[in-house]
Amino acid sequence: MTRNIGPIDKAVRIVLGLVLLSLIFVLQGELRWVGLIGVVPLLTALVGNCPLYSVLGLSTCSRAGRT
């Protein structure tokens, strides 16, 4: 897999993922499970590859940082 997520994009995805996951503890009822969407940005940040970026041919990673 080719990396297509740069360091700033990675940091934003981690913060966004953690914020979304925190909704599980903040919201009440069935709506709280919406927070599980936060797993997606966290996983893509940890792996370093976004499937949607691959399909669209996008990358926030510098040329030197791609593997």
What digits encode the pLDDT tens for the residues 13-56? 999 999 999 999 999 999 999 999 999 999 999 999 999 999 99
Spatial distance between the Cα atoms of 65 and 67, rounded to a whole number of angstroms = 7
| pLDDT of 63 higher than 80 | no
- For the chain, give every domain's residue range: 7-59
Spatial distance between the Cα atoms of 10 and 51, rounded to a whole number of angstroms = 14
Q: Are 59 and 21 in contact (CB under 8 A)?
A: no
Spatial distance between the Cα atoms of 21 and 59, rounded to a whole number of angstroms = 25
Spatial distance between the Cα atoms of 62 and 18, rounded to a whole number of angstroms = 25
Q: Are 33 and 12 in contact (CB under 8 A)?
A: no
| pLDDT of 65 higher than 80 | no
